[in-house]
Structure 1
Amino acid sequence: MATPRYEPVAEIGVGAYGTVYKARDPHSGHFVALKSVRVPNGGGAGGGLPISTVREVALLRRLEAFEHPNVVRLMDVCATARTDRETKVTLVFEHVDQDLRTYLDKAPPPGLPVETIKDLMRQFLRGLDFLHANCIVHRDLKPENILVTSGGTVKLADFGLARIYSYQMALTPVTASCLAGPPRPWVGHSNIQQIATHCRCVP
């Protein structure tokens, strides 16, 4: 896997719609994360970008002017390869060293200091508050979608299931991770005013 500008370093993970790579910008020396999505050509049932990718790009573009420190930054979107059958679209994100689960697993016994836990929670809530202030609900908050830099900065990531809402609309009863999602969609309550439940549902 390669793009004209970035040099791939390692595979980070594989999602439902593509592979994520750690890559290096040879001009700046900075690392980025590349999420590659294969898009079938043509207008058939399988054609076009996955809706989760469209949502993620649209929402992060909506937020990019703010450059909030607790939301991962989308740096670029480009078509990086094309054949007769498909086009590879690559989303370029700032690279973050690890997700929250990895960060917690690395902590030596007896675990993180209380002050560090408080700081992580404050950052998480600042990012969540920023999304809600901009009428965005994430809908897939879990340790794997909460990133932590080597300096301890928390960044919310993966907006493929996120929605823009108004206070007059009800949420759809769909979240990606049953154990991490808010309980109200599963018990029949969908009032948007209850979105703060998200912050209590990260394992």
Structure 2
Amino acid sequence: QYEPVAELGAGAHGTVFKARDRLSGRFVALKNVRVPTGGAGLPPSTVREVALLRRLEHLEHPNIVRLMDVCASARSPHEAKVTLVFEHVEQDLKTFLERAPAPGLPPDTIKDLMRQFLRALDFLHAQRIVHRDLKPQNVLVTSAGQLKVADFGLARIYGCHMALTPVVVTLWYRAPEVLLRAAYASPVDMWSVGCIFAEMFRRK
């Protein structure tokens, strides 16, 4: 049903492609995850991402990337493939900032993006979800300027007394409590958002 058009990126467990849905003609993003047969099964990050996005699916928040489908197939006797089908978004925030002409994004554009970003974060935290890996590469921006939070592989549903691992978030976006290996919860996402907010102004 999905015809790959271009490779968008590769990670530890698989590759992301831009693809065309043969039935509708629309573009989608395919995240292919390799799974050794007879091994430990799907990577935990993939299981978390599917579970969390399925949990949020019926709420359809405009600033959360939409998981459209999950497909599984056998590639060989030793390996299977699980494909996550997402809505396709033209670029991530990192690319959006790099393409902005000098001297950078207008203040009104930054305000609009931050308003959408904070709405998405407020929604996630209201569902007791902490993302834990917010960075420009995991924030998508459509051609119409709509922001969407993506990549929930490190996200967790948290409780009041839950201890979370310190090995999260790309180094430059880590909150002090993560660096100090102290207890933390949803405020670590706010720290990351603050770093990204500064990056929108400084473009680095």
Q: Name 1:15's counterpart in structure 2.
A: 11
1:131 pairs with 2:131: no
- Three-state SS of the structure 2 residue aligned to 1:179 is helix
| Distance verdict in 2 for CA 1:87–1:193, change over 3 Å | closer
1:198 corresponds to 2:195: no
Measure, in 2, the Cα distance between the counterparts of 1:167 and 1:116: 36
Preserved CA contact (<8 Å) 2:178 2:184: no
Post-superposition offset of 1:112 = 1.1
Give the 3 Å change call, closer, same or farther, for CA 35–112 of structure 1 in structure 2: same
Per-residue CA deviations over 1:67-124 (Å, capped at 9, x if unaligned) read 1010000011111333210111100000000000100111111111110010001111
Q: Which amino acid aligns with 1:167?
A: C
Q: Decide whether the 8 Å contact of 2:135 with 2:192 is kept in 1.
A: no
| Equivalent residue, structure 1, for 2:202 | none
TM-score, normalised with respect to structure 2: 0.91
- RMSD (Å), alpha carbons: 1.4
Query: Which of the residues 51, 54, 78 maps onto 2:44?
Result: 51
8 Å Cα contact 2:19/2:28 also seen in 1: yes
Superposition deviation, residue 193 in structure 1 = 5.9
2:72 alignment partner in structure 1: 79
Deviation at 1:174, TM superposition (A): 2.0
Structure 1 counterpart of 2:194, one-letter code: R
Q: Per-residue displacement from partner, 1:23-51 (whole Å, max 9, x unpaired)?
A: 01122111100000110001x4xx30001
Q: Aligned equivalents of 1:49 and 1:24: distance in 2?
A: 25
Give the distance between the partners of 2:140 and 2:119, measured in 1 at CA: 14
Contact 1:182/1:201, CA 8 A, preserved across alignment: no
Give the Cα–Cα distance (whole angstroms) in 2 for the partners of residues 198 and 111 of structure 1.
20
Identity percentage over the alignment?
Answer: 66
Q: Structure 2 matches for 1:102-117, cutoff 5 A?
A: 102-117=95-110
Aligned residue for 1:22, secondary structure, equals strand
Rounded to whole Å, the distance in 2 between the matches of 1:201 and 1:183 is 12
Q: Which residue identity lines up with residue 134 of structure 2 in the other structure? A: L
Distance 1:181 1:82, change over 3 A: same
Q: Does 1:122 align with 2:115?
A: yes
| Unpaired stretches in structure 2, ≥5 consecutive residues | 200-204
Q: In 1, distance between residues paired with 2:41 and 2:14? A: 14
TM-score (norm 1): 0.92
Structure 1 residue runs of 5 or longer lacking an equivalent are: none
Query: Is the Cα contact below 8 Å between 2:130 and 2:186 reproduced in 1?
Result: no
Question: CA contact under 8 A between 1:138 and 1:163: conserved in structure 2?
Answer: yes
CA contact (8 A) 2:173 2:191 kept: no
CA contact (8 A) 1:167 1:193 kept: no
Could you say which structure has the higher helix fraction?
A: 2
